Amino acid sequence: MKYSPLVNKISAGGSFSLVLDKDGEIIAWGSNNLNQCYPPVGKFIDISAGLTHSLALSADGSVVSWGSKNTYNMPSEFKSKVKAISAGGHSLALKTDGSVVSWDSSYEVPSEAKSDVIAISAGINHSLALKNDGSVIAWGTNTYGECNVPLEAKSHVIAISAGAKHSLALKDDGTVVAWGDDSDNQCKIPQNVNDIVAISAVSYHSLALKKDGTIIAWGRNYERQCSIPDNAENIKLIDAGDMHSLAENKMVQF
């Protein structure tokens, strides 16, 4: 595995991982049965690994896709004026005008997510959007209440993350709100989850990065995806995959 000493972004997918290095090039490893690990050649400013496909954002505001969802079906809205991307079981793009567009989802983007959005997160069958007033919007499958945004996530939210059947929101006071499926305790936030600066939710586990550079993980641990390694210190980036987790510190993987 190639390692870049300056990593701009990490993204954990269903059973593969992506890194965007300091030169804007993409590195991929893991399961490749759908060409998930054959990223496009070029310079990019953002990446997002989904369940079986990935997205990359170019500086010109256009998006490319590879893996199980290909660019041939990508709507024109993904091809210009995009400033953020998120891949899950489907694809989301945040446009420069603050509107959200979706691809390969059976759920339409609600009217509330068509303006003043500052962040997006695609789960497997549901989506989250963060508005500039600090409130969260959710839509899609709601079997486990993953789209029932609690009162605590309707103000002062600064980051969001959609898992398979649960959702996370990071508040401006460093606390985390979780809702949806809790069958593996992925919504039971540990007592030491405070001073948080980043969050990541995936199928059945959750990650949080503390201000001091340490990681907290909770939920399913069948594949040791919540067993944080001893060398996970001074961490700057985290991302949760389906059955693994990534942290940026000489590419710690667990």
Q: pLDDT tens digit string along 189-242?
A: 999 899 999 999 998 999 999 999 999 999 988 888 888 888 888 999 999 998
Name residue, tokens 């899609």.
Answer: 140
Q: How many alpha carbons fall within 13 Å on the CB side of residue 108?
A: 4
How many beta carbons lie within 10 A of that of residue 224, not counting itself? 13
Q: Which fold has domain 7-253?
A: Methylamine Dehydrogenase; Chain H (2.130.10)
Where is 28: in which H helix or E strand? strand 26-30
How many beta carbons lie within 10 A of that of residue 50, not counting itself? 29
φ and ψ at 252, to 5 degrees?
-65, 130
- Name the nearest CA neighbour of 242 among 214, 223, 218: 223
Task: Supply 115's token pair.
Answer: 């303006």
Domain boundaries, the chain: 7-253
Q: How far apart, in whole angstroms, are the C-alpha atoms of residue 154 and residue 97? A: 22
Q: How far apart, in whole angstroms, are the C-alpha atoms of residue 220 and residue 206? A: 9
* Alpha-carbon distances, residue 63 vs 48, 86, 137, 188 (angstroms): 11, 11, 23, 35
Report DSSP state, residue 226: T
Report residues of the chain scoring pLDDT below 70: 1-6, 69-72, 250-254
Q: How far apart, in whole angstroms, are the C-alpha atoms of residue 163 and residue 59? A: 27
What pLDDT score was predicted for residue 35?
A: 93
Where is 176: in which H helix or E strand? strand 176-180
What pLDDT score was predicted for residue 69?
A: 65
Give burial (CB, 10 Å; 0-12/13-18/19+) of 229. middle
What pLDDT score was predicted for residue 55?
A: 96
What pLDDT score was predicted for residue 253?
A: 60
What pLDDT score was predicted for residue 239?
A: 95
What pLDDT score was predicted for residue 248?
A: 87
Which tens digit of pLDDT belongs to each residue from 107-119? 999 999 999 999 9
What pLDDT score was predicted for residue 249?
A: 77
Task: Supply 254's token pair.
Answer: 């667990």
